[in-house]
Amino acid sequence: LTDQDDASLAAQIGAALVRAAEHRKALVKSRLEALQARQAAVVGALMPEPSKLDELRLSVEQLAAQAERQRAEIADHERQLAQLRDRQEDLSRQAEQADGALRERCASLIPGLPVLSRQGEAQWISWIEGRLVEAGLAFEPAADWREELDFRELDEKALALLAPLCGTIADLEVASSDLAVARASLPAAIQREQEALDRLTADLSLRASQAGSRYGRILEDLPQPPAEDSPERLEQIEGILTYVEATLGRFAVSALLEEQMLEALQS
Amino acid sequence: MKRAEAERLLAEIGGEVEVRLRGHAGLLRRLLGNEPNQDHPAWKLAAAETLAEGLLERCAGLLHPEVSAPTRALLEEAVTEGPEALARLAADFDERLRAADAPGDRLQALRARRRCLELRAACLDHLANIFDARRSRP
């Protein structure tokens, strides 16, 4: 390389350095501008513009005024509500008093009503008349009907209509009566009886099958209890069986005697 | 309207005060509008009323203390409705009594049936004795 070449290279390097410096400067400048723009945007976002601040201030004032008005309205409503509550309590008291008075009035009128319905009145009048006619008496006005009914024994006759019914009611409803106690024990007694009957039926069936045709038609001809629980039919069958059992019993005794006699003759 | 019906209606009125007010007002209207029976002379009505009142008073004495309130009410109702209602009630209770006695009848039938089977068993015993005696004969 010559000195001339060195000078040219140095000039080139110098020029390149100058260009690099300029480029760097331009880059720094552009970055700074971008940063400033971003900063402005952030500040703009955080800090509203003065005109908007005024709007906000106005809006806040309006809201505060509205809230004040509403507070006043609420207070007014609460006053009205308290008044209405008082009024309601007053009306409730009045309604209770009126209801009590109505109830008392109703209760005071009830004793003046007849004991009998229209139908009851007609029927008892007819009944009294009928009993008096039977006794050859006329149905006429009386000064004291209690005495008159007692004198004519009509109250006793009417009571006679009730007495059997009262007895039936007692038989049905009085749990401590002998009848009720006996009735309460019936289900268990029925079950016991049914079980005994089932055992007896099975035993008889076994004995009949074991006997087979040994007794000819005698077993078949013995009357059977009927399928239905007719008391009359059961009583009839029981009567026949009682008679047959007694007859067979006599035959058995007779056969035994006969056997004993034959043994005596043979010995 | 008869007394017992009005008493029942009065007793049934309950609930909120508005409901009670309406109920009492309605009953009062009915009570005030209740016309006496014009179909019979007053003295005949008095005779029937006196007889029924006496019966109702003595009803309580006739009934056993254990008889329930609904049954007492039924009986009193029948008295106020007349002898025919009493007869119907008596027939109804007779039917109930028959139904209540049905298990007793069933037990009697079972016992009769058992006696029949016992008699059949006794007949079998006798037959066995008779045939055994005959068979043992040389």
pLDDT at A6 over 80: no
Mean pLDDT of chain B: 91
* pLDDT tens by residue, A30-48: 999 999 988 888 877 777 6
Degrees (nearest 5) of the Cα angle A60, A66, A67? 90
What pLDDT is recorded for position B55?
93
What pLDDT is recorded for position B137?
64
Which residues of chain B neighbour A142 with C-beta distances below 8 Å?
A: 43, 47
pLDDT grade, residue A53 (50/70/90)?
Answer: confident
pLDDT at A51 over 80: no
Judged on CB neighbours under 10 Å (0-12, 13-18, 19+), B65 is exposed
Identify which of B28, B81, B111 has the shortest CB distance to residue A102: B28
Q: Is A255 close to B75, i.e. CB distance below 8 A?
A: no
pLDDT at B138 over 70: no
* pLDDT tens by residue, A63-93: 999 999 999 999 999 999 999 999 999 999 9
Which residues of chain A neighbour B27 with C-beta distances below 8 Å?
A: 106
Which residues of chain A neighbour B53 with C-beta distances below 8 Å?
A: 115
Q: How far apart are the CA of B34 and the nearest CA of chain A, in angstroms?
A: 8
Q: Which of A85-94, B97-106, B124-133 has the highest mean pLDDT?
A: A85-94
CA–CA separation, A233 vs A242, rounded Å? 14
Interface of A with B in 85-104 (CB under 8 A): 92, 95-96, 98-99, 102-103
pLDDT at A50 over 80: no
Calculate what percentage of chain A has a pLDDT beyond 70. 98
What pLDDT is recorded for position A48?
64
Q: How far apart are the CA of A210 and the nearest CA of chain B, in angstroms?
A: 11
pLDDT grade, residue A54 (50/70/90)?
Answer: confident
Mutate to test the interface with B, among A119, A197, A245 (most CBs of B within 10 A): A245
A51–chain B Cβ distance below 8 A for any pair: no
Burial per residue of B78-115, b for 16 or more beta-carbon CB atoms within 10 angstroms, e otherwise: bbbbbbebbeebbeebeeebeeeeeeeebbebbbbbbb
Judge contact between A245 and B122, C-beta under 8 A. yes
Identify which of A99, A186, A231 has the shortest CB distance to residue B21: A99
| Cβ-based contacts under 8 A for chains A and B | 304
What pLDDT is recorded for position A14?
85
B110–chain A Cβ distance below 8 A for any pair: yes
What pLDDT is recorded for position B122?
95
Interface of B with A in 10-69 (CB under 8 A): 10, 13, 17-18, 20-21, 24-25, 27-28, 31-32, 34, 36-37, 39-41, 43-56, 58-59, 62-64, 66-68
pLDDT grade, residue A101 (50/70/90)?
Answer: very high
Q: Which residue has the higher pLDDT, A126 or B133?
A: A126
CA–CA separation, A66 vs A69, rounded Å? 5
Q: How far apart are the CA of A114 and the nearest CA of chain B, in angstroms?
A: 5
Burial per residue of A76-108, b for 16 or more beta-carbon CB atoms within 10 angstroms, e otherwise: eeeeeeeeeeeeeeeeeeeeeeebeebbeebee
A139–chain B Cβ distance below 8 A for any pair: yes
Q: Is A159 close to B62, i.e. CB distance below 8 A?
A: yes
CA–CA separation, B41 vs B34, rounded Å? 17
pLDDT at A137 over 80: yes
Q: How far apart are the CA of A216 and the nearest CA of chain B, in angstroms?
A: 11
What pLDDT is recorded for position A1?
58
pLDDT at A55 over 90: no
What pLDDT is recorded for position A58?
87
* pLDDT tens by residue, B14-54: 999 999 999 999 999 999 998 888 899 999 999 999 999 99
* pLDDT tens by residue, A161-198: 999 999 999 888 887 778 888 888 899 999 999 999 99
What pLDDT is recorded for position A267?
78
Mean pLDDT of chain A: 89
CA–CA separation, B31 vs A223, rounded Å? 71
| Residue in B closest to A246 by C-alpha | B123
What pLDDT is recorded for position A109?
95
Mean pLDDT computed over A197-211: 92
Q: What residues contact B66, with CB distance under 8 A and at least 6 apart?
A: A173, A174, A175, A176
